Amino acid sequence: MFRKMRRSRQELPVEETLEIMEKGTTGILGVLGDDDYPYTVPVNYLYRDGKIIFHGAKAGHKFDAMQKHDKVSFCVISRDEIVARKVTDYFESAIAFGRVHMIEDPDEKLQAAYALGRKFSPEEAVQDDIDRSYRNVVMYEIEVEHLTGKKAIELVH
């Protein structure tokens, strides 16, 4: 169902790919947008247990796209080093494919919001943010179906 990586020598081992996902802070979410144009948007996220958790508003392009079509992709770049003298980029990245859904259960939604917030902020700031804006937030979860990592050929040993 999912393609094999064409340049398989550049494929990262599973452990390194998972490390990119776990340590990353921003990923690029790709959805099928208006008139079937791809729509990509950066989001802060949390990766745990094979799932990507992020939040969004209850309206907008991202919300509408995911309501219509649950298949998404998600890219995280952990290294992006331009090497001008070699006309190349030393990169490491991970790409996930999966299906997204809103977290509907109130307890799970709250737990996800706290977990995501704690990745980036101290507990008291997270609580203040949840008290202020939680009712206007949608929490999403991507069930990862396929995950690969890749690095620049120059970094392959």
Structure confidence at residue 127 (pLDDT): 86
SS (H, E, C) the chain: CCCCCCCHHHECCHHHHHHHHHHCCEEEEEEECHHHCEEEEEEECEEECCEEEEEEECCCHHHHHHHHCCEEEEEEEEEEEEEHHHCEEEEEEEEEEEEEEECCCHHHHHHHHHHHHHHHCCHHHHHHHHHHHHHHEEEEEEEEEEEEEEECHHHCC
In a domain, 127, yes or no: no
pLDDT tens sequence across 50-89: 999 999 999 999 999 999 999 999 999 998 888 898 888 8
Examine the pLDDT at 151 and tell me if it is beyond 80: yes
Give a yes or no: residue 91 inside a domain. yes
Residue 21 maps to which CATH number?
2.30.110.10
Instruction: Report yes or no on 15 lying in a domain.
Output: yes
State the pLDDT at residue 48. 94
Q: Give the confidence band of 4 by pLDDT, cuts at 50, 70, 90.
A: confident
**Ramachandran assignment for 146, one of left (phi > 0), alpha (psi -120 to 50 degrees), beta (any other):** beta
pLDDT classification of 97: cutoffs 50, 70, 90: very high
Q: What is the pLDDT of residues 6-48, one digit of tens each?
A: 777 788 999 999 999 999 999 999 999 999 999 999 999 999 9
Residue 18 within any structural domain of the chain? yes
Let me know if residue 58 belongs to a domain. yes
Cα distances from 117 to residues 36, 113, 122, 132, in angstroms, run: 32, 6, 8, 13
The answer to whether position 130 is within a domain reads no
pLDDT at 125: 84
Give the domain range for residue 80: 8-105+141-151
Residue 28 lies in a domain: yes
Number of domains in the chain: 1
Does 133 map to a domain? no
